[in-house]
Structure 1
Amino acid sequence: MPSLLEQLRQYSTLVADTGDLDAIRRFVPQDATTNPSLILKAVQSGQYEAQLRDVLTTVRYSGGNLDQAIDEACDRLIVVMGTQILGSIPGRVSTEVNARLSFDRDASIDKARYLVRLYEEAGISRDRVLIKLAATWEGIRAAQALEREGIQCNLTLIFSFVQARACAEAGVYLISPFVGRILDWYKKNNPSKSYQADEEPGVLSVANIYQYFRRHQYSTVVMGASFRNVGEILALAGCDRLTISPALLEELANTEGTVESQLKDCGEYLSVPEVLSESQFRWQLNEDAMATEKLAEGIRGFEGDQLQLEAMLAERLEGCVK
Structure 2
Amino acid sequence: MDQTTTLSKLDQLKRMTVVVADTGEFELVKQYTPEDATTNPSLILKASQQPQYAGLTDQAIRWARAQGDQERFMDNAVDKLSVSFGCELLKLIPGRVSTEVDARLSFDRDATIRRARRLIELYEQQGIARERILIKIASTWEGIRAGEVLEAEGIHCNLTLLFSFVQAVACAAAGITLVSPFVGRILDWHKQQSGRDSYPANEDPGVLSVRRIYDYFKKFDHPTIVMGASFRNLGEIEALAGCDRLTISPALLNELAGQHDPLPRALSAEHARQADIEQLEIDETRFRWLLNEDAMATEKLAEGIRLFSRDLEKLERAIDGKMVE
TM-score by shorter chain over 0.5: yes
Match of 2:284 in 1: 278
2:216 paired with 1:212 = yes
Q: Is the 8 A contact 1:216 1:270 kept in 2?
A: no
2:71 paired with 1:32 = no
User: 1:309 is matched by which residue type in structure 2?
Assistant: L
TM-superposition CA deviations, 1:99-146 (whole Å, max 9, x none): 000000000000000000000001101000000000000000000000
TM-score, with length taken from structure 2: 0.94
What's the offset of the Cα at 1:207? 0.3
2:68 paired with 1:70 = no
Q: Give the 5 Å matches for 1:122-141.
A: 122-141=126-145
Match of 1:119 in 2: 123
Aligned with residue 5 of structure 1, among 7, 10, 16: 10
What's the offset of the Cα at 1:161? 0.3
% identical equivalent positions: 55
Aligned length in residues:
318
Greater mean deviation of Cα atoms: 36-45 or 96-105: 36-45
TM-superposition CA deviations, 1:186-211 (whole Å, max 9, x none): 11111136310121000000000000
Match of 2:305 in 1: 299
Change (3 A) 1:281 1:46: farther
Aligned with residue 274 of structure 2, among 263, 268, 276: 268
Greater mean deviation of Cα atoms: 67-76 or 210-219: 67-76
Q: Let me know the Cα RMSD of the aligned residues.
A: 1.7
Match of 2:321 in 1: 315
The 3-state SS of whatever aligns with 1:123 is coil
Greater mean deviation of Cα atoms: 91-100 or 183-192: 183-192
Q: Is the 8 A contact 1:61 1:317 kept in 2?
A: no
User: 1:287 is matched by which residue type in structure 2?
Assistant: E
User: 2:64 is matched by which residue type in structure 1?
Assistant: V
Match of 2:163 in 1: 159
Change (3 A) 1:185 1:101: same
TM-superposition CA deviations, 1:1-52 (whole Å, max 9, x none): 1111011111101000110101100100000011122122212234421111
2:27 paired with 1:22 = yes
What's the offset of the Cα at 1:272? 8.5
Greater mean deviation of Cα atoms: 209-218 or 259-268: 259-268
Rounded Cα–Cα distance in structure 1 between residues aligned with 2:223 and 2:111 = 27
What's the offset of the Cα at 1:248? 0.4
User: 2:304 is matched by which residue type in structure 1?
Assistant: G
Aligned with residue 89 of structure 1, among 78, 86, 93: 93
Greater mean deviation of Cα atoms: 271-280 or 244-253: 271-280
The 3-state SS of whatever aligns with 2:7 is coil
Rounded Cα–Cα distance in structure 1 between residues aligned with 2:324 and 2:71 = 11
What's the offset of the Cα at 1:60? 2.5
Change (3 A) 1:200 1:47: farther
Change (3 A) 1:270 1:194: closer
Q: Is the 8 A contact 2:23 2:250 kept in 1?
A: yes
Q: Is the 8 A contact 1:105 1:138 kept in 2?
A: yes
Greater mean deviation of Cα atoms: 31-40 or 190-199: 190-199
Q: Give the 5 Å matches for 1:39-50.
A: 39-50=44-55
Q: Is the 8 A contact 1:61 1:69 kept in 2?
A: no
Question: Larger % of helix: which?
Answer: 2
Match of 1:174 in 2: 178
Rounded Cα–Cα distance in structure 2 between residues aligned with 1:198 and 1:274 = 25
What's the offset of the Cα at 1:183? 0.5
Rounded Cα–Cα distance in structure 1 between residues aligned with 2:51 and 2:158 = 27
Change (3 A) 1:299 1:47: farther
2:110 paired with 1:102 = no
User: 1:74 is matched by which residue type in structure 2?
Assistant: V
The 3-state SS of whatever aligns with 1:60 is helix
Long gaps (5+) in structure 2: 1-5
